[in-house]
Amino acid sequence: MKAYTTIPYAKQAADLVQGPEVFDLNFEEKDFWFWIRVMHFENRYASINQLLGHTHSRNVLELSSGYSFRGIDYCKQHADAHYIDTDLPEVVAIKQNMIEQLTLEKEAKGNFELLPLNALDPIAFRATIARFNEGPISIINEGLLMYLDMVEKKQLCNLIHTALKARGGCWITADVYVQRSAEMQASLPQSKSEAAFMEQHNIEQNKFASYDAARLFFEEQGFEVVEEAIPDYASLSVMPHLKKVLPEAVRNSKEPPPKVQATWLLRAK
């Protein structure tokens, strides 16, 4: 989906993904729901960048980055950056191969490292943090918390809190998702395989009951919510495509899209 946006390197990365068919961007045959989802992911990506732009530290640790190349782009823009890009070992091995095929490492002027890290492994987490020179750290993630149950979420909070208490800095998470009402769930088209995936990973249950519940949860883990990203839908590259397929009722509405997620900048109290 990100290949349909201007997110750096997304198109090149998608081209490398081995699928049953050659990856072919077809902008014409996509419907409203497809573009809504692309908008969601582009906005989520942009929301992290927005808040990262409000921090002054150039030490960035990205958790569970998947096949996202924000780190390369960040190091292209900031020669003084130290960006540690992490995910589980299997993903990192494939991503390393992609970086080599696309010769992306030469784009980074700053110090870019791609390392395997299970974000819940305390020893590996501390060892990764220790690679940064002194000074505050920005820890960022998108698309992780909904895979973790409450106990795992607390473990992760504890590791991040300890690191930020010692080093200073902040945690920017785009994973403040709230559970959808039954009507909302029923109205969203979903393929069988998507529904099975959501079920298998308990995605809906792992979301927060409400934004207030999420705030309370983070406060109980020792964090303060300092800032929330403000979506700038007009600036998203998906907008011209989405506008073409907007149903009449939505086109005439002055309301922003329903809020299903928030991106927060947190500090350790």
Ligand X SMILES: C[S@@+](CC[C@H](N)C(=O)[O-])C[C@H]1O[C@@H](n2cnc3c(N)ncnc32)[C@H](O)[C@@H]1O
C-alpha–C-alpha distance, residues 6 and 116, integer Å: 27
Q: Footprint of ligand X on residues 197-236 (CB under 6 A)?
A: none
CB of 33 to ligand X, least distance (A): 19
**Considering only CA atoms, which of 1, 55, 56, 47 is closest in space to residue 23?**
1
Q: Footprint of ligand X on residues 23-82 (CB under 6 A)?
A: 63-66, 68
Q: CA 89, 93, 98: angle at the middle one, nearest 5?
A: 145
Q: What is the DSSP letter of 107?
A: G
By C-beta, is 124 or 246 nearer to ligand X?
124
Using rule CB under 6 A, residue 147 touches ligand X: yes
CB of 57 to ligand X, least distance (A): 20
Using rule CB under 6 A, residue 143 touches ligand X: yes
CB of 266 to ligand X, least distance (A): 17
Contact by Cβ (8 Å): 266, 224: yes
Which of 36, 120, 225, 239 touches ligand X (CB under 6 A)? 120
Closest residue to ligand X: CB criterion: 66
Neighbouring CB atoms inside 10 A of 149's CB total: 11
Which of 144, 157, 170, 172 touches ligand X (CB under 6 A)? 144
By C-beta, is 205 or 253 nearer to ligand X?
205
Using rule CB under 6 A, residue 96 touches ligand X: no
Residue with tokens 């068919």: 21
Torsional sign, CA 210, 7, 73, 99 = positive
**Considering only CA atoms, which of 158, 167, 268 is closest in space to residue 224?**
268
CB of 66 to ligand X, least distance (A): 3
In DSSP terms, 140 is beta-bridged to 62, 172
Give the binding site for ligand X (CB under 6 A).
Answer: 63-66, 68, 87-88, 91, 118-120, 142-144, 147
